[in-house]
Amino acid sequence: MAQWRFMMLLGFILIGFCGLAARTAWIQVIQPDRLRQEGDLRSLRTTADPSHRGMVTDRNGEPLAVSVPVQAVWADPKEINDADGLKNTEAWMALADVLGLDMRKLTASVSDPKRRFVYLQRQITTSVADYITKLNLPGVHLRRETRRYYPSGEISAHLVGNTNIDGSGIEGVERAFNDWLSSTPSQYQVRKDRQGRVIENIGMVKEGKKANDLVLSIDERLQSVAYRSLKYATEVNKATSGSLVLMDVRSGEVLAMVNTPSYNPNNREQYEAFRARNRAVTDTYEPGSTVKPIVAMAALEHGVTNWKEVFDTRPFAVGGHVVKDSHHMATGTLYDILKYSSNIGMAHIALRMEPQWITGKFEEFGMGQSSGTGLMGESSGMIPMRSRWSNIERATIGFGYGLRVTPLQLTAAYAALANHGIRKPISMLKQSTIPQGERIVSEQIAEQIIHALEGVVEEGGTGGKAAVPGYRIAGKTGTAKVATAGGYGKDYVGTFVGFAPVSNPRFALAVIINEPHGASYYGGSVAGPTFAEVMSSALQLYNVPPDALPESKDDSNNFAENSTDTTKRGVKKNARS
């Protein structure tokens, strides 16, 4: 009996071993993939290298936008529920306090055990992250990420723009060059144990893309001076807003671009759409008298007047409207018309020309078309294109009504004039070489207009407050009414745009003050002082030597005698320079 029982037990053990061997063979040889897959699902993980957005700097390497390391705190509700972690009320109260969250809402967000991932707060500082680590809450984890920081704050906010919480550009340069600045992390496959520790590096799954840095043409020193001066002018003149653009005449690079009011891009709670708009490229306005030099160039090219002709500058009626001036004079030459900003004189000149001659010249100077900077929301402005023009429309376009331009377009137009009639492409990026330009007006006519605009800033001209001691300044004031539904309102836009030094122009600068409600609203009064301050700083920072004193041209008669009659001279259009 004992032997039989022993043999039966031995048989059962042998059958068991055979079953185990068969099962092992089935798993290892015949069908290994399913269990291997089950194991991989529990141990294989895909990780990524931390990626950083490219840096944005000014032309001298000063940082305008950088990415700084921060942490995100997140929770695994299932892990919290399994560990019964919500019982530690004091620790959760401390977590809610440091994150600035409501205790009830915080615990409610992690109470569902079916969820595996919940962000509690993103972009927290290192000190807060260290504090959370010491709380030792089960199911609460930290995750590395980056936050965009803007060292210049509100000074360059409109130009540089900002990113959303995920690091994608939503405004300004950050959005325009988002693909260039963005990076894609490389992904790797690793094997982890049950505690989450990496025990094997398997290899790369997907190669990422490295971010690129971006060097702007902006000079942060000039940007700071320009913003401070424009902000002061906006406040003193009780204006609704202001814009300023400074360009390098030789290269076409934008050295400063500021707007008021501004905002702090480092404070997301302060963000408002109307504050984030880069008015220098998005907003258009009627430029008023600032386009009179361009109209004068068109008139000289087509031979409809010359520097010696004397115009009747007394008020006159056109199409039921009376054209009049703020500076009264009975007669004046083209030099006087520009110096004293006579609407009447320019109306007489404009009525002699075909409207297409004027609008064509505006287009040659870059108005009514995209600047090519790539900035988001840029407006191309508006140049009227009509098959039939009334006399009042022909007259008013001569002194800057009926068209719309941006501050950037106006600055670029004067930069082309300062460059003796050669238009350079506008650039927001630092240029390694000076680009080739396009001649849009003869050098002779450009030089004559330049010397005429110098009289605007001299004693008796409308832009006397824009003068810079030691330097010869050429420029033009503009005071235009703000268009409203059905006509024009009571508000004005004050502008001064010009360049310096006249002997060898280096910088072009436009200052626009929108709807001033102070003691004055004229462009020379509200925008001229800001022009003088910013231009003076630019000339000094770049060590531009003062000009020699100009030859005597105390009145328009002397200027006319020294100017060549251009009535019989043409100009070769669009010749490459």
Among candidate residues 461, 472, 368, 445, the one with its CA nearest the CA of residue 410: 368
What pairing do the DSSP bridges indicate for beta strands 254-260 and 241-248?
antiparallel
Q: Could you tell me where the beta strands, DSSP code E, fall in 367-423?
A: 422-423
> What does the alpha-carbon distance between residue 377 and residue 374 come to, in Å, rounded to a whole number?
9
Token representation of residue 445: 């006519």
Among candidate residues 238, 216, 239, 243, the one with its CA nearest the CA of residue 227: 243
Q: Is 289 a catalytic residue?
A: yes
Q: Which long-range contacts (CB under 8 A, 24 or more apart) does 188-191 make?
A: 188/46, 188/47, 188/48, 188/49, 189/44, 189/45, 189/46, 189/47, 190/44, 190/45, 190/46, 190/47, 191/43, 191/44, 191/45
Rounded to 10°, the helix 126-135/89-99 angle is: 170
| Residue 196, amino acid | G
In the set 51, 289, 427, 536, the catalytic residue is 289
Q: What is the DSSP string of 502-559?
A: TTS--EEEEEEEES--SS---HHHHTHHHHHHHHHHHHHHTTPPPPPPPPP--SHHHH
Cross-strand pairs, 576: 438
Give kind and range of the element (H or E) at residue 57: strand 56-57
Do residues 71 and 129 touch, judged by C-beta distance below 8 A?
A: yes
Among candidate residues 460, 449, 448, the one with its CA nearest the CA of residue 563: 448
> What does the alpha-carbon distance between residue 76 and residue 88 come to, in Å, rounded to a whole number?
16
Active site residues: 289
